[in-house]
Structure 1
C-alpha cells in the first residue's frame, strides 16, 4: 500500500464543459480532484501540491499553453495530460500524455495514475538526493562517529523513510515511467549547472552548513546566509566554511534496493 503522505496528492481537471468536468471528476474519485472551468479557477486550484493536471487543448483563452507555462514555472514535478480532438491539425503543446476524444474512463484513469506516480517519484528522488548529500558531508568531515550528532540521526531517519516510499512506489511504475523521470531530472541538472549567477537558490544546495549548523534558508543581517561560489559549491556566511556537493550528473535512478 502506497503511503498517504506522498509529496503531491492533488489532480486539477481543466475542462470548460461542466458536464465533461463532472464526469472526469467522477472517474477520478480515488484522487483529490479540483475542477477548473475557467483560467481564473485554474489559478485558484493550482499549487505545488498538485501532481497531475488534465487539460483540454482549447481550454480558456489561449488554450493549454498558459496552463503549461504556469505548471513549468511553479511545479516542475507536475505532469500534464492533454485532451484534444482527433481532428485538431495545429501543432500541439508538449504534454506528458495525450488523450484523444472521445475520452474513456479506463484510459483517463490509467493515464492519471501513471503521471501521478511519475510526479511523486520525481519529488521523492529529489528529496532523497538532497538528504543523502548532507549525510555524506557529515560522514566525510566528522572527526568522530557522526551518529552522535542529533541532526545526523534525523537525516538518516528521513532518508530511510524516503527510501521506503520509493521502494513501495517503484513496483507500480513501468520502466518507461522511470526513464521519463530520469530524463526530467537530467535536464534540470544541466540547466542548474549552467546557471552562473551567484544565487544560493538551488535545489542542490545543502539545507545547512555542515560545520556550524547555520540554517541556509534563514537570512543573516538581512542578507543571504550562504554564497554560491560555483555550480555545486557554497560558502557559509556565518563561519566561512566552504561546502562542496557531489555532481548530480553522477546520479543513477533505480529502485533503491537496500
Structure 2
C-alpha cells in the first residue's frame, strides 16, 4: 500500500543512536539528521513521523517542533527523552525514555505512521466531498455534465479504499486521536471553505489542466502569490480570481 507521507526523520545528535534507530526502522524510508541544518534540508511535507531527541541541538526541540507545525501538521512526533526529564513535552504525540528498545520504537513509529497518513487521506477526502457538495449547490443539483464534478466523484471513491485499509490497521484509540486533531477550520461548512482552499482559488490550472486539489509528492500543486493570485507549479501559469467571474490573466516564469 502506498502512503501519501512515506518518510520517517530521525533527529538525533548522537550518531550511534541515530544509526541504530535507522537500522531498526529499515522497513521505512528513514532520513537521518544529526544537526539542525541537516534537519532543515531533510524535513518536508512528505514526512509522516519525526523521531526527535528532545535535547536535540541548540535551543532544544522547540524550533524543530515549530517547523513541523508549519510545514507538515499531519506529522506525528515521537519524543525521546532522558530519565532526568520528568515533564512530558506537549508537542509530542508519544514519548519514549532512554534507553530505547527496538520493539518499543518500531511499535510507536508504526502507530504514528498510520495516524499521520490516515489524517492526510481523511483530510483530502473531506476536502473532496465538500467540493462535490459545492458544485452540486452551484448547479442546482444537476452537475452530471460537469467534467470537474465527475473527477471529484472518482477521487472520493478512490480515497475510500486506502482509508478503509488503513482503518483496519488502527485501533479505535488511534482513530479517535486523529479525529481530535481536526478542527472546524479543517472541514468548514457552507461558504466558509477558505481552509480547504483560498475562497476563489480555481480547482485546476486553466492552461495545463493540473488538478490543484491533488498534492504532488506531498507538496501543494499551486503557490499563492497574492490575495487572489495563484501560480501553477507545473507550467508557471498565473490565475487571478477576485470573484468567480474573474479569469486567467497571464503566465509567469
TM-score, scaled to structure 1:
0.75
- Correspondence for 2:111: 114
User: Using a 3 Å threshold, how does the CA distance of structure 1 residues 31 and 208 change in structure 2: closer, same or farther?
Assistant: same
Gaps of 5+ in 2: 213-221, 230-239, 248-253
**Superposition CA RMSD, Å:** 3.2
Alignment partner of 1:160 is 2:138:
no
Q: Distance in 1 between matches of 2:224 and 2:89?
A: 44
Q: Distance in 2 between matches of 1:173 and 1:185?
A: 17
SS across alignment from 1:33: strand
Q: How does 1:226-237 map to 2 (within 5 A)?
A: 226=241, 235-237=243-245
User: 1:148: how far off?
Assistant: 2.7
Gaps of 5+ in 1: 228-234, 240-258
- Correspondence for 2:181: 184
- Correspondence for 1:69: 66
Q: Compare the two structures and name the one with the higher helix fraction.
A: 1
- Correspondence for 2:237: none
- Correspondence for 1:139: 136
User: Using a 3 Å threshold, how does the CA distance of structure 1 residues 36 and 136 change in structure 2: closer, same or farther?
Assistant: same
Aligned length: 221
Alignment partner of 1:208 is 2:205:
no
User: Using a 3 Å threshold, how does the CA distance of structure 1 residues 126 and 144 change in structure 2: closer, same or farther?
Assistant: closer
Q: How does 1:13-162 map to 2 (within 5 A)?
A: 13-89=10-86, 92-142=89-139, 145-162=142-159
